[in-house]
Structure formats: C-alpha cells, structure tokens
Amino acid sequence: MANFVFLNLLLAFYLSCIFSLSNAQNAIQLPLKSVNLGNWLVIEGWMKPSLFDGIPNKDLLDGTQVQFKSAKLQKYLCPENGGGTVLVANRSSASSWETFRLWRINESSFNFRSFNKQFVGLENQGQGNTLVAVSNDPGNSENFQIVRNDADPNRVRIRAANGLFLQTQTETLVTANYEGSTWDDNDPSVFEMTIVSTIRGEYQISNGYDPERASQDHRNTYITEEDFSFMSSNGLNAVRIPIGWWIAYDPTPPTPFVGGSLQALDNAFQWAQNHGMKVIIDLHAVQGSQNGNEHSATRDGFQEWGSDSDIQDTVAVIDFLAARYANNPSLAAIGLMNEPMSPGVTLETLIRYYQMGYNTVRKYTSNAYVVLSNRLGPANSKELLSFAGSLSNVVVEVHYYNLYSESYRRMDVQQNINFIYHQRSSDLSALSVPNGPLSFVGEWSGEFGTPVKSKEDYQRFAEAQLDVYGRATFGWAFWAYKCDANLWSLKWMIENNYITL
C-alpha cells in the first residue's frame, strides 16, 4: 500500500516534470529572429509584377490615377473645386483637381473618383447629360466605358451610362451627348489620357482577375512547408505573416477579395510547429486603409480608416484571429495594425483602437504578445510608450529602412552603416524603458539608399543591421522572405552569401 502511494507520487512528480518541460518547450525564446512572409496573403505587386500579367487592361486597375486632356481644346478635364459641382475643360496644366482615381467595374468600365472623393456622373441621377462630380455612392449613372484607340491606347473616348460619348462643347460645358466616332484632333470626344500612377495590391489583383481564379494559385505555391524547413535550418525561429481583414470572412469574403487565406495561415501555423518556429500574425491591411499604401489593400489610395465603426470592424477581425490561434503552440504575437499613418490616423484614435484590440486578445490569452506598430509619417517614436507601459506582454514595433528619403541617397556606404550604429541604435534604446514594452524591428531590408554598391557593401550593411537590431528586446523581422528584387529577399541573400544570420 505504502509503496503504491509512493509510486503514485513518483508518477505525479514525473508527469508534472514532463508537463513543465513541454511548457518550457512552448515558451518563446526572445529575441526572435524572423522574416516577413510578405506578398503571400497580402499582395504587393512591386515584389512580383508578373502576378498581374494575365489581367486585361492591366494598366487600368482600381486606384490608377488618370488625367484627360481634350484633343480639340488642349485643356484638361477638371471637376470644378476638386469635386462637388460641374466638370469643366479649361485647365491648361494638370495637377490634383485634374486627376481622377479609377474604380474598376470590369476591364473597360470604371467610376472616376475626384480629388474631393465625389464620383463623376450625369446630372440629376442620370436624367440629364451634363457632367458633374456630386455622388458619394457610385451607381449606374457614374459608370463610364473607356474606349481605347487600337494604335494608341492612351488616346481614348469615354462613353457614359446613356450610351453616348463625352464631349467638350466649350471649356465650361462638358456633356455626354456625342454620337460621332472619329479619332481626329478636332473631334470634341477625343481625349489624351495620362496615367499618373498605379496601385498594385490585393484589391487590384482580386478585382482585376476573374474572382474564380484570382490569387489562389499564388497562395498555394508561393510559400510551402519547404520554406519553413529552409528558414529554420538557416537560423530563423519565427515568421511575421502579413494578413488582410478579409481573412475573418473566409471562405466567402466581401467582393472582390478571394477566400483561401485562412487555410494558408492555418498551414503556416502547422508548418511552424513542425519546424520549431513561432508565428507573429500581422494585421497588415484593415478595412478603409490605415495608410493609403497598396499593401493596405486600399481600393484607390485614399486613407479612410478611423471612424468608430472602422475600429469596431477591425477589433472584430482581431477577435476572430485571437479566438482561433490564442492556444496554438506556435503563436508568438498578434500585431494589431501595420503602419498606421500620421496624421490621417491620429494618436488618440490609434490608442483607442490599440486598447480595444489588446483587451480582445486578452479575452483569450494572457501569454501571447500584442504588437503595437508605431505610426509612420510625422510622429514621435516614443508616443506609445506611456500607454504601452500600462499593458502586459506588449511590444512596440518600428520599421527601419535607409530608403524613401533623399538623405540616404546622399550618404555613402559607410555613412549609411554609421547611421545604423548611431541613429538607429539610439532610437532603439530610447524605446527600452524600465517596465515598458519590448521593442521589435518588424521590417528592415538589405537595400539602402547609396546608389552604387558592391556585394561587400551589402554584406557590411546587413551585418551592421543584424548587430544593432539584434538588441531589440522582442527581436527583428527582415522584409521579406521572397521578392523579385534580390536585396529584399532573405532567401536570395542567404543563398548568395549576402547575409549570415
């Protein structure tokens, strides 16, 4: 009997050892060395332009900015005052008011969104034929077909919903009532179209392709378990995975988004576990767009996230993710929002959202870290510290690129390296306050501003970054794992000996 009790005690002791051992195995080893699985579940066209090759009229996607110059008058179409009233054609040069953002209906039909965000259409809800820009909600009378000239695709005529072509009758009268069909310079319905800029993100690719085929193959092939094997055997212990808000509505997200990213994320968690790695979920694209960039899955580049209902929608996405992955042994952290942009996203709005997002994650787990991304744009890099100090297991995330500013171009290689050792290093240590949040360099790359560089220059620059960003208390994540631009691909850099982790 006594022996039996003893054996039971021994067994209990043994089991509790196993249990705490397995807990220890699940504990997160900081700092993380991770890489972003960018351009996988949230498309960024610049990283692999060929993804867009099969789209008809692929230069006229959602968010493409265009200007129209009347061939006859040699004046630009312009919603007077930038929108809110009639269209005129009396501007001899084009800038913001004379620029329209496309919303693509199909390969040849579009809405034109003005500077003030109203859509161009026919007056009186389509009863008249004078062009105005007054609708906030495009309907049939805001649809326009762009007919391109076979010989010169930037010579166009524009057919309105009434079936007739736009014409510039005078500089101040633009109507849709033209029935001629020449391409002559004196034809008042002919326009020279200038494409000012394009956006190539998830919205554009999904809405550009037939929804049946958009993005699916890419998701299944771009990242596979072999990549997790490669990453873990090369010294990485985590991945940061950018995802979009529509994942919460999988498998039938709102148009034009395409289902399937949830299965891909599930796979990534399994592959991470198989290879002893952790996952940082990064909510990269929120409904309304927190920064207007293509990687926020914006339709037209306007930054419109921030209303109370936007906050609620985004918290609902966090709730979905936390409920699903909180107890997954591979979960390291949930990032509430990538790169909110100041001043469009105010600090007050952001903190209100971060507090609600944090509370939501904490309903499901006290262990998982919650990542709070610093704002881009004009903002103090320490602005989240006091707020974050009131929370537990939180991380403040910064992105360090020696790019996107003329100053890095003007620096030579050594000056860029010195910048890492001095400026970045001191910025990072300023984020480390006693009892404060952990710090995370959530994006950085092998590319930098100096125009001409050798392989050795790149190696030294990468080494400096590893050295300094290695002091971030939560860790770092390189952008990205794969990219057509080699210095943005950690896989390529490892394989070609540009970086040693």
Q: Which residues bind ligand NAG (CB under 6 A)?
A: 80, 88, 90-91, 105-109, 143, 172
Strands (E) in 245-389, as ranges, are 278-285, 331-335, 369-373
- Closest contact distance (angstroms) between CB of 287 and ligand NAG is 24
Residue 64, CA distances (Å) to 75, 114, 148, 196, 268 in order: 21, 12, 16, 7, 33
Q: Report in angstroms how near the CB of residue 282 gets to ligand NAG at its nearest.
A: 36
CB of 425 to ligand NAG, least distance (A): 52
Q: Which is nearer to ligand NAG, 159 or 200 (CB)?
A: 159
Quote the DSSP letter at residue 253: P
* Nearer to ligand NAG (CB atom), residue 143 or residue 168: 143
Residues 6+ positions from 435 with CB-CB distance below 8 Å: 389
Nearer to ligand NAG, 94 or 350 (CB): 94
91 vs 491 by CB, closer to ligand NAG? 91
Closer Cβ to ligand NAG, 30 or 161, answer by number: 161
Do 303 and 289 touch, CB atoms closer than 8 A?
yes
Query: Between residues 99 and 402, which has the closer beta carbon with respect to ligand NAG?
Result: 99
- The CA distances from residue 394 to 36, 150, 367, 371, 440, in Å, are 19, 57, 10, 6, 10
Q: Which is nearer to ligand NAG, 161 or 356 (CB)?
A: 161
Q: Is 40 exposed, middle or buried (0-12, 13-18, 19+ CB in 10 A)?
A: buried
- Please state the closest distance from residue 214 (CB atom) to ligand NAG, in A: 16
| Closest approach of ligand NAG to the CB of residue 486, in Å | 38
- CA 230: distance to chain centroid? 25
**Residue 105 CB, nearest distance to ligand NAG (Å)?**
5
User: Cα 57 from chain centroid?
Assistant: 23
- Min dist. Cβ of residue 295 to ligand NAG (A): 28
Tokens standing for 277?
């790695």
Number of H helices, E strands in the chain: 13, 20
